Amino acid sequence: MSASTRHSNAERRRERDECRMKLSRHINDRLGISVKPFNVRLNPRPNDLYSWRILPGQEHELSKIFEKNLSEHSISIFRMLSKKVGITFEAISAEASDLIPGSLISLSTPQFSFTSEIEKLQDTNCSLSQQAFNLNKSLEMELHHRELAETEAKQLQEKLKNLEEQVQIYSTTADYFQNIISQCYTALDTTLPILEGLQKLTSLNPNHITLDIQTGPPSDPGGP
């Protein structure tokens, strides 16, 4: 026997033993049944306390594997079984397998954990999808309200700006008229004393004032 053949056989034994170990551990974790690794079988005997169940859609491929003894398979099958145990197939109690003839029964039975797990995952996915939808709608509403608030704030700022401009115009206009009124009061302060003086003169000698207005000043009596 060549060195390469011995190495290949050793590797095959190692992969087979590791596969038996993982299947044994799965049976114990799943059912609480202790089966020594070298006693693990893909096609259990009638007196064994466990059997195997395959995920729907995998029956055609895996059922052929479970028809043979574990030791008859190749390294690739050992690795596949080690990787897929509990995922595409799992251990069930012998009582559960008795419900349907044959050691490999369909996963469509209500007792199968894969189905219940899939249903739970589907329910969880549906719930998460609904939560995501609700959050998305809430976010859209929040963004819409924020846009409305920003638009309203801009409109109020524009109105405030217009009001400030109008106040400035009114203030400038008020200052202008205040200046006009001030000038009028100043003119009145100057004019009123003159009018009062004329009024006094008129009241003292109205005829003289009238004559002076009509004929002008009197002529000099000593003139030519």
What gap in Å lies between CA 66 and CA 36, rounded to an integer?
19
pTM for the full predicted model: 0.44
Cross-strand pairs, 104: 52
Which conformational region is residue 86 in: left (phi greater than 0), alpha (psi within -120 to 50 degrees), or beta? left
Detail the DSSP E strand segments found in 26-139: 50-54, 89-93, 104-105
Do residues 20 and 36 lie in contact, with contact meaning Cβ atoms separated by under 8 Å? no
Check residue 109 and give its pLDDT: 40
Lowest mean pLDDT among 13-22, 137-146, 182-191, 200-209: 200-209
Which of 1-5, 115-119, 144-148, 215-219 is predicted most confidently? Answer: 144-148
Dump pLDDT digits (tens) for 102-134: 445 434 343 445 566 677 788 888 889 999 999
What are the domain boundaries of the chain? Answer: 3-109, 120-194
3-state secondary structure (DSSP) of residue 217: coil
Angle at 115 between CA 112 and CA 117, to 5 degrees: 105
Higher pLDDT, 175 or 118: 175
Per-residue pLDDT tens digits for 176-196: 888 898 888 888 888 888 888
